[in-house]
Structure formats: C-alpha cells, structure tokens
Chain A
Amino acid sequence: MARIELNNIAKAYGPVEVMRDINLTIDDGEFIVLVGPSGCGKSTLLRMIAGLEPISGGDFTVDGKRMNEVPPRDRDMAMVFQSYALYPHMDVARNMGFSLEIRKAANEERVSKVQEAARTLGLSKLTERLPKQLSGGQRQRVAMGRAIVRDPSAFLFDEPLSNLDAALRVEMRLEIARLHQRLKATMIYVTHDQVEALTLADRIVVLNAGDIQQVGTPLDLYETPANKFVAQFIGSPTMNILEIEPKQGGLSLKNGANLGVGLTNAQAGARELGVRPEHLNIVSPEEAHISGTAELVEHLGSDTNIHANVPGIGQVLVREHGHFALKSGDPVGIALDLEKTHLFDADGRRLAA
C-alpha cells in the first residue's frame, strides 16, 4: 500500500535531457497506466520508480518519504518484466519464492506463500518445472506470482503482455484486472497498447517525447482529450482530423462544406476539427455534411469500417455499427455528430467551447 508522488522528475543521459518536470500523484490502491508510443519515456519513468534507472532531478516520494537514492531492493516494489526475466536455473517454486529466500524468511512461510500464489494463478501442478519447460502464458503467470508472493507496496508492470498472442493477452489482461480488485494494491502499468490502458486503468497517463500529455480516467481521455496527440492516440480506429476554415456564418471544412456551427470566442483560433469514426454516419445525400466515394469497406461483423475518399478533404474513416451493406466504389454521404467533435488550435491544443 503506497501513495507515490513524482515532483518535477527529470531524466538526463549526460547532457541530453530526455524528460523534465514530470509531476504525478498516484493514490494508494490506484491502477495507473502509462501509455505512449515507443520511445516516449514510459518505460524509463517506470524504471526510475523501480530504482533501476537513476533519477536526474526532482523528488520521488513514497508515503511522503523521499526515495530517489534508495536502491531497488529497499523500495518494496515488485516488477513484472516484458521479458518475464525468470531465473532459468531455478524451478517455478524457487523463482516465485526467491525474494523471500533473499530476505531469509522462514521456510514454512515461504512454502505456504508460494503455494497460495501458485494456486491463485493455476500453477500448482507446475511448481517443480524449470522456466524453459513452460509456455509463454505460464511464464507470464510465474512472473506475476513472483510479484504477488512479495506482497509489495506497489506493483510495476513493464509491458507484461506484449510477448503473448492475442487470445492469451485478453485472458491475462482479465487476470491482472482481477488481481488488482483482489489485492487493492497500487499498480503502475506501462503499455503501448491503448486497449490495455483503457480497460485496466483507473487513470491513464499519456506520454509523448518525455512529456506528460494528459492524466485522466479512460473516459476523460476519450471524451475530452487535451490535445490532438491524445485524441489520436486514444480510441480505435484513430480519430479523423479535418482542416477547417473559420468563416462568417459558421465553421467550414477545407472543401468549402459549411457545418453550420458558430465558434465561441475561445475557439476563434481553431485550425483543425477532430471527429471519431464512430461519430460519423453514412446518410442520404440531402442530410450529408460531406460526400465522397467508399474506397474500402471492412466488414468486421460487429462493425463496418468505411474508408471514404472525400474530394477536397481526403481520407475519412466512418465506423457504422453492425453490418452495413456497402461496396467499395459506392457514393457515400457523411454526416458529423456535431456534439461530439473537437476543435484544435495551431499547436494541437483542444479548444473547449
């Protein structure tokens, strides 16, 4: 159990500063997901919290105690690595109990804790196997078991599911969610997969190029993204971004189509309009804001993705619910759900009404 605070955390490699002014407060028992594209610094941040990477500046505190210089073994945090990092020469039981072995815990305590963790993870029959005799999913479970046995104040996950196949990933994701519900421990989870972020997180931290872009609940990020980066990163398929020209008498798209909405004063600097594919609808030509041709139609069963080519605007992706009878080459009229659009200024910041 721990409340973790990052105050103006910075990271530099020699003279190269890769991260600065990172501020984040993680409440006791909270599930925080750090998400962002490769190279955004999310893993580095996690490794700084773990103590594997020195912190170049700022204060890192756990329950009010400064931990910047505390070595990893004294931080009372468990970490699940992307590569699992199981000790190849130890069997499953010893792998899971290794932290207790190092702390010289009593034998009975170690055995009972390992057994309990193995039972909850469905590993009871595998405790005498070596890591090389396990499948990917089983190794992943052992890595989690090793963390559970510790009973740490915080769990750190570094892209734990990215080496698993799709089906297993969904299963393990549920398992992690269950684990969090049961243990109510503070968890910090790094991923580049926004689906994992949206499904697991109490709050998501979106990072890009060493900067925090936005911190918020999954729904916050989906509904009120702070900027174009977050808007495009969260949500699948990606949000459409259309160029606009503010004119007298309402908002116009680049091809001249007038949307018939006025801009507030705060929105005067708007340059682009973002709208998610699910907030676009295929409609009859009279109701349409814009029209074009369907270039590619993907029938997914639950949804239909229509990649439309709109003259003067370019590619627009529309997502219709269920099966939608449309072939590539068909003319389409598209209406925007004007309640659900976002306006961005020249710097990509979202402009609220």
Chain B
Amino acid sequence: MSTLRNSSPLAVTGKYLALGFYVAFALFPLYWLVKIAITPDKLIFTEGTALFPSEFTFENFQTVLIATDFLSYFKNSVIVSVGTAAITTAIAAAAGYAFSRFVFRGKRLIIALMLITQMFPLLMIIAPIYKIVAAVGLLNSLTSLIIVYTAFNIPFATFLMQSFFDGIPKDLEEAGMIDGCTRFEALRKIILPLTLPGLGATLGFVFTAAWSELLFALMLINSNDTMTFPVGLLTFVSKFSVDWGQMMAAGVLALVPSCLFFIFIQRYLVQGLTSGAVKG
C-alpha cells in the first residue's frame, strides 16, 4: 500500500488504464459469446460485427435445452469433471504431503519422472492410449475419461499440493504430535483445515481442465450417450452449416458450473489462513 501513497496521479491513472485494458481484452471473447447467444439467427450475419444486437432473444437457449442432447452432454461432463477432480485431488494431496514431509528412497527419481510426463505433447500418446483403452474394453465409457484425465493431471496437481504443504510450518504437526496426536490425527485436525485453500485451488484447476478437455474425449467417445460437452458442441457443426446461435448458447450454459464451482471455492482461496501460527 505504501507504494500507492507515493505515486503521482498520472501513474495511478496509467495503472488503472492498463488494468482496464487487460480486463477488457481478456473478457471480450466471453462478451462475444454471450452476445451471439442472444442474437436472433437472422441477424447474426446481417449485423456482422456490431457491438450490440438490435434485437434480443432467448430462443437459442430454449432450443439447446429442449431440442438437443445438450443436457445429456452436460450431465456426462459433470460426472467426468467432478470424478476427475475428486480422485486427482485426493491422490495429489496424499502424494504432495509425502513429498513435502518425508524423506524416502527414490523421491528425486519419482519427482523427475513426474516432470518428464509433463514434457510430451498429448498428441504423441493418443494412439497408445487409444489402444490400451480399447484393449480393456473401456471405449465409449466415462470411466475411461476419468482414468485418463486423472493420470494426466496428477503430476501437476501433486506439485501444486506439495507447495501448499510446504507453506505450512512443520512445527505445527510436531506440536500436534506432542499434544497427543498420531501423525494421521495431526494431519486431519491441524494440517487439513489449513490446506483447504490448496485443496480448493487444486480441485478448481483439475475440474476446469477436465471440463474443457476435447482431444481425448473426441478419440475415446463415439456414442452420443456418453459424449461430454466439448464433443457435444461439435454436433452443432453440420455438413452444410454451423448453428452459431445455439452453439454459443450451449457455451454460455457450459460456463455456469465452472462459475458456480469457483464461487463455491473462492472463500478457501483467500490467502493468510495460516497467519498467526508462527512468528511474524
């Protein structure tokens, strides 16, 4: 805050201008998504790039919800994303805790291997993954997606969780163990409540990653019943035309769970939960 006090009005204005520009730049595609979703079909091409449509309609939303399989895609996506987020976070939290607190043989090797898995473009391994999934008979199932997404997200989620655990002083669980806890009790009663921001961030990150994943969903799912939302979106593209209005309406609806999810976890993302634990 002290820097604010000393800066000239010009610098402050400049800062807010820059921030404003960035926010507008980042949010513009979202705005466009909403705009097209509520523009009647007949105006989409005639009005071109006008910032505001001259007429509004919610017809696109109605069509998407009633006349298409959108709700089924949506449900599949929720199952896959929530499942992936829950499983990944549970595993990553356990692994992250171990990396943060324990010294064990092969720790560096495991960390190195996990980093290596992050180096390859996913395209390279699509074929082998397809072969494996097909061989175990999991094609066209949501389970296959949950397994694949979990596998890909665990390394990053583990590093994320580890950094959160690293931020919690070791003294706290030692104090807990001296106070009569087993290590597990100390973890549950002392460390876990303090890691909620980390768990929230990890859940959010994995959820969004799974929610918007297209490549594997496209490869592993063919049947309409088990399509996730990003794959389902492609059904709005037909051989001769693209149903822009409906596609955008579906896109807007797909944003809802992500937004809800972040509203729900944002209070855990607030910093400073551990303040007061140790000196300073």
A-to-B contact residues, CB < 8 Å: 50-52, 71-73, 77-79, 81-89, 98-99, 102-103, 130-134, 136, 139, 146, 150, 163
* A50 vs chain B, min Cβ distance (A): 6
* With contact pairs A72-B177, A73-B177 given, residues A132 and B194 touching in the complex (Cβ less than 8 Å): no
Most buried by A among B175, B178, B185: B178
* Chain A residues with CB under 8 A of B194: 88-89
Q: How far is the CA of A177 from the CA of B176 in the complex (A)?
A: 25
Q: How far is the CA of A130 from the CA of B172 in the complex (A)?
A: 15
Whether a CB of chain A sits under 8 angstroms from the CB of B20 is no
Across the interface, do B278 and A83 meet the contact criterion of CB distance under 8 Å? yes
Whether a CB of chain A sits under 8 angstroms from the CB of B274 is yes
* Chain A residues with CB under 8 A of B181: 73, 102
* With contact pairs A85-B169, A85-B171, A102-B185 given, residues A78 and B276 touching in the complex (Cβ less than 8 Å): no
* Chain A residues with CB under 8 A of B172: 85, 87-88
Give the contacting residue for B179; candidates A71, A84, A89, A102; CB below 8 A.
A102
Question: Please, which residue of chain A has its CB at the minimum distance from the CB of B173?
Answer: A85
Interfacial residues of chain B within 163-219, with CB under 8 A of chain A in the complex: 169, 171-172, 174-182, 185, 189-190, 193-194
Give the contacting residue for A102; candidates B171, B180, B272, B275; CB below 8 A.
B180
Most buried by B among A81, A130, A139, A150: A81
Across the interface, do A139 and B177 meet the contact criterion of CB distance under 8 Å? no
* Chain A residues with CB under 8 A of B190: 87
Whether a CB of chain A sits under 8 angstroms from the CB of B273 is yes
Most buried by A among B179, B180, B189, B279: B179
Q: List 5 A-B contacts (CB under 8 A).
A: A78-B179, A85-B278, A89-B193, A102-B180, A130-B276
* Chain A residues with CB under 8 A of B260: none
* A18 vs chain B, min Cβ distance (A): 16
Q: How far is the CA of A84 from the CA of B279 in the complex (A)?
A: 7
Whether a CB of chain A sits under 8 angstroms from the CB of B10 is no
Question: Please, which residue of chain A has its CB at the minimum distance from the CB of B278?
Answer: A83
Q: How far is the CA of A87 from the CA of B193 in the complex (A)?
A: 10
Across the interface, do A89 and B273 meet the contact criterion of CB distance under 8 Å? yes
* B4 vs chain A, min Cβ distance (A): 24
Q: How far is the CA of A136 from the CA of B276 in the complex (A)?
A: 9
With A89-B194, A102-B185 given, can you name 18 additional A-B contacts, CB distance below 8 Å?
Answer: A71-B182, A72-B174, A79-B178, A81-B175, A83-B278, A84-B278, A84-B279, A85-B172, A85-B278, A86-B276, A88-B194, A88-B273, A102-B181, A130-B276, A134-B276, A136-B279, A146-B179, A150-B179
